[in-house]
Structure 1
Amino acid sequence: MVRYAQAEQDKEARRDDILGAALALFLEDTRRLPAVAAIAAQAGLAKGTVYLYFKTKEQIFAALLSREWDALLAKIEENFAASTGPKEAVVGRFIDGFVAFLASHSYFLRLDSLGYGHLEANLPPDEFWRFKQSFSLALNRAGQAVDRALLIPPGDGLALLLRSYALTRGLYQTLDFPDRVRGDNRFHDHPLARIDFDVELQTALLQYWRGALGDLSE
């Protein structure tokens, strides 16, 4: 039993090494996925060793995205579960934490943008549904924490989080111009060039939650 546990720990550590190497390479150019050979070299592993854990680079990055989503949703659940006081303050702390998470994980929304169109489309059915189930369970737990913290009907918290995600993703993609565009002098006069994503997201989320929940001062 001890040997088995140690072997499982070693496998998990190796898997984490692969994901860490993949993330390090992705940060160098977040508009493309690095090859498995490059990830193996970054992790100090043979290419064949990486294939023991992941069959494709898409599976590597789907696992990385799943890990990031788990971390974000766990943070949201924890924040709402521990929140007390007026609704306005509870929602404000959630939005502050959400925006701060995205700011400290600058690659997350770019990776998430690849999720639907590229990563998930290249996953085997069983792995695709494992990915979806893991996300659904974490999202439901976070939504239930919102329901309890804000004393709202069951299911409303889940809806609030889903719409917040849609707002966040849409705003990010609207403002996600390539460097060649942002570096062009002609872009400087474009209205979107003057919008700061973090500031705009914080404002938009607060306005949405206020509108959705009505009077947050209760």
Structure 2
Amino acid sequence: MTKAARSAEQDRAAGGLHRRAVELGQGRYARASIALRLYRSTRRIRAYLRWSDQGDTHERYVGEVDATTRAANLEQAWNSAREQGFVTDEQVPAGSWASSPASRAVMSANKGRDTKPEKLLRSALHRHGLRYRVGARPVPDLRRTADVVFTKARVAVFVDGCYWHGCPEHHRPAKKGAEFWQNKIAGNRARDAETNVALSSAGWLVIRVWEHEDPEQAATEVAKAVRSRQATGPVDQSSL
């Protein structure tokens, strides 16, 4: 089971990501998980709550569980941990943009790098025989990081999430905090446009791929652009 699958399993059993919180004090929380251990000598299953704090792993005995499936045992253990006060709901800090602990947990869990669409595109590019840098600045002095960078060809590829970058096909405006999210997405799109202009002015070709696009087709287009620029050389905009 992958790390993401294990985390999703824990979320389902606990009733949500935000319900897996161990309070550390001073408004700090740690994300906990339940470990199940079968003791063969007694055939009993014991549940332990585990979390990390500043690099140190902590564990607390929750109790025995006796359900017939792993999912039910995890749920039983989480309920027991909550009843004993071992875990709580993560609270939204004052002034937070999130409308609830659940939405804050979901938004916080969004990855800025190595998302599934990025990995699929990179795998497809690799199959095309291309080599590249990941998560790098095309122009060192410009604070813009591209998802895939072809340094010699000066091609920068961005894989844009449909929600965060306002995909015209799939973006659905949030109902709660609509004005905030509208401004947030508009700001992201404006930054994307500025990035395109800045990199193009520095002689880079910018390719943007929506997360919903077929990775094989996208990789084919990227490969064509990269090989074309490798053959002819990128245009130096400063000389124009």
Identify the TM-score tier after normalising by the shorter chain. Answer: 0.3 to 0.5
Structure with the larger RCO, 1 or 2 (CA within 8 Å, 6+ apart)? 1
TM-score (norm 2): 0.37
TM-score (norm 1): 0.39
Structure with the larger helix share:
1
Structure with the larger strand share:
2
Which one has the largest radius of gyration?
A: 2
